[in-house]
Structure 1
């Protein structure tokens, strides 16, 4: 059986652990602030080329969906010239506030790998040597899943939400003038929600490690999970069935992958227990 690293970390008191955690949080916060300041400098590019891009009908998602509709000889709202709404700021400090908060959230998203690295540095000394070796790809896989979720949210969920909600009208008498903060929150919710949802395999990995989840439990409650996924899809997407299905499909795939990961972790834990039991038997026989 492997042993934990013999470092001062193992002999720390509870307050010492809190102090170390504080420094990890401070370094993570500094990374967010530094990247946020850089994002603030390039805020013009971030707003014009990234945040407001899904408002233009030239956005890749709209073009592909329009081409698909034409291929099937169908009419589509994705083929119109422009979205029928304008973005406005109705408060004196609205644009400045939006710039500051957007820079902070950009810092959080871009600094995510470093934040995970600091978290890993905090928890890794408490792991066994074999566990640390098997988990070397933790930072890479966690960051990869997060950014895949962010891209999915940006290129799929956000444009579908903006197109549907921005085009929806109860009457021709009503013109949509969307508040700047409301528009940004729609994009942010889509991006961050998908980024977090795509971390499902990592979450299941650790829940299985601590014994809270097993593949049998996940299979047993698969139907309930399906309902939860559809509810989450309804929250982060516009209220139309097509958009909810588009979002639900990758989440259900992730759920199935998580079942396989849970089964793999359980097999590893059982093999470890069998080896430990065999070692104890050998010691007693000697």
Structure 2
């Protein structure tokens, strides 16, 4: 009779699925609970946060206005108000916007907990050395995400709203923006920048599994620069200063990713050489 050599601590595929299911359930519950709190804070979420970039006393507009004035230039950022209105055109539009905004608020605020649940799921499959190297993953990834969220909210969102809200193909056409369109513009800027700022973390893990190297990143740096400048030109007003403000942080992150990739490969080379010497 064959002896069962299976490790009793080893989980089967179905066990892993069950474990993953509970991590997803806990993450979803966290998003729902935080979203419920956000739902009850309707005035603050909408009047202060969501519609903040529509008001000309928004910090970004005041800063750009002061810069333009000090340089002796006229600027659209010094206007008294943006020339567009926000409207609701469907019966359930405002209620739907309220619910989905609350859910996205739950995701953004609960992002560190979601990361923690992901880490709890993957960490048992890592070696002790890999766990040590990845120590601080949740803290660093959360800081990068919230830095991206703040950058998206205070830079990309107001620049996009200022440009798109004042753009006209003809004076015969008035800008009457639907509430869902306005909220999606703010949400896209915030969430996209939050994820974009995770680039160093993504490169770290891609280097660990051998998908990228510093040489590959350096080879395609010029292409990345062109892509970043194109994206910056699309989401910002048509002036060089705004494009540079958006592009510089992304390029810094890209350069930091190259350095991180180099460090990862050097550590792995040292560990391999040490292992060969000991054996």
> Which bin holds the TM-score, normalised by the shorter protein?
over 0.9
Q: Which residue of the partner structure matches residue 284 of structure 1?
A: none
Q: Which moved more, 1:258-267 or 1:172-181?
A: 172-181
Shift of 1:129: 1.3
Shift of 1:234: 4.5
CA shift in 2, pair 1:241/1:74, >3 Å: closer
Q: Which residue of the partner structure matches residue 158 of structure 1?
A: 157
Q: Secondary structure of the equivalent of 2:177?
A: strand
Q: Which residue of the partner structure matches residue 109 of structure 1?
A: 108
TM-score by length of 1: 0.92
Q: Deviations over 1:156-199 (max 9, x none)?
A: 00000000111111222222110000000000010011001000
Q: Which residue of the partner structure matches residue 240 of structure 1?
A: 238
Structure 1, unaligned stretches of length 5 or more?
Answer: 1-6, 281-286
1:32-51 matched pairs, under 5 angstroms? 32-51=31-50
Q: Which residue of the partner structure matches residue 194 of structure 2?
A: 195
In the alignment, the residues of structure 1 paired with residue 118 and residue 225 of structure 2 have an alpha-carbon distance, to the nearest angstrom, of: 31
Asked if 1:147 is matched to 2:146, the reply is: yes
In the alignment, the residues of structure 2 paired with residue 19 and residue 229 of structure 1 have an alpha-carbon distance, to the nearest angstrom, of: 41
Q: Which residue of the partner structure matches residue 85 of structure 1?
A: 84
Q: Deviations over 1:221-257 (max 9, x none)?
A: 111221232344355x146253333211110000000
In the alignment, the residues of structure 1 paired with residue 117 and residue 237 of structure 2 have an alpha-carbon distance, to the nearest angstrom, of: 38
In the alignment, the residues of structure 2 paired with residue 230 and residue 45 of structure 1 have an alpha-carbon distance, to the nearest angstrom, of: 34
Q: Which residue of the partner structure matches residue 3 of structure 2?
A: none
TM-score by length of 2: 0.94
Q: Which residue of the partner structure matches residue 72 of structure 2?
A: 73
In the alignment, the residues of structure 2 paired with residue 22 and residue 99 of structure 1 have an alpha-carbon distance, to the nearest angstrom, of: 28
In the alignment, the residues of structure 2 paired with residue 77 and residue 240 of structure 1 have an alpha-carbon distance, to the nearest angstrom, of: 12
In the alignment, the residues of structure 2 paired with residue 175 and residue 129 of structure 1 have an alpha-carbon distance, to the nearest angstrom, of: 62
Shift of 1:150: 0.2
Structure 2, unaligned stretches of length 5 or more?
Answer: 1-6
Q: Which moved more, 1:267-276 or 1:151-160?
A: 267-276
Q: Which residue of the partner structure matches residue 212 of structure 2?
A: 213
CA shift in 2, pair 1:73/1:241, >3 Å: closer
Q: Deviations over 1:55-111 (max 9, x none)?
A: 000000000000000100000000010000000000110000000000000000000
In the alignment, the residues of structure 2 paired with residue 233 and residue 203 of structure 1 have an alpha-carbon distance, to the nearest angstrom, of: 21
Superposed structure 1 runs of 4+ greater than 4 Å apart: none
Instruction: Give the CA RMSD over aligned residues.
Output: 1.4
